[in-house]
Amino acid sequence: MKDKKIVLITEDEKVLRETLHSGLEGENITVVEARNGQEGLDLSLSLHPDIILLDLIMPKMDGLTMLEKIRNHDAWGQKVPVILLTNLTSSDEQRNNDMARLTPTYYFEKTEMGIEQIIEKIKEILKVQ
Partner 1 sequence: MFSNEINESKIMLDTIINGVDDGIFVVDKDLKITLFNKKAVDISGFSSDEVLNHPYYEVLNFVFEEDENNTNDFIKKVFTEGIVEETTQNTILFKKDKTKINVSYGANPVKDEKGIIVGCIVAFRDVTKETEVDKKKTEFISIASHNLKTPLSIIKWISEFLLDKKIQKSDAEKEEYLNDIYLTNKRMIRLVENLINIFHIETGDGFTIKKTSVDIVKLIDISIEDNQQLAKSKNINLVKSEGINGEILIEIDEGKIKQVFNNLIDNAINYSPDGSTVNIDLIKKEKEIDFVVSDSGIGILKEQQGRVYEKFFRGDNAIEKETSGTGLGLYISKKIVEGHGGSIRFESESGISTKFYVSLPIN
Q: Is residue 92 within the footprint of partner 1 (CB under 8 A)?
A: no
Which residue type, as a one-letter code, is found at position 78? Q
Q: Is residue 51 within the footprint of partner 1 (CB under 8 A)?
A: no
In whole angstroms, give the CA distance from residue 74 to residue 69: 10
Q: Is residue 54 within the footprint of partner 1 (CB under 8 A)?
A: no
Q: Is residue 23 within the footprint of partner 1 (CB under 8 A)?
A: yes
In whole angstroms, give the CA distance from residue 7 to residue 5: 7
Q: Is residue 15 within the footprint of partner 1 (CB under 8 A)?
A: yes
Tell me how far, at minimum, the Cβ of 97 lies from partner 1, in Å.
Answer: 15
Question: Among 1-9, 22-30, 41-49, 98-106, which window interacts with partner 1 (CB under 8 A)?
Answer: 22-30
Question: Among 55-63, 72-80, 97-105, 120-128, which window interacts with partner 1 (CB under 8 A)?
Answer: 55-63
Which residue type, as a one-letter code, is found at position 108? F
10 Å Cβ neighbour count for 36?
A: 18
Residues that bind partner 1 (CB under 8 A): 12-13, 15-16, 19-20, 22-23, 26, 57-60, 87-89, 109-111, 114-116
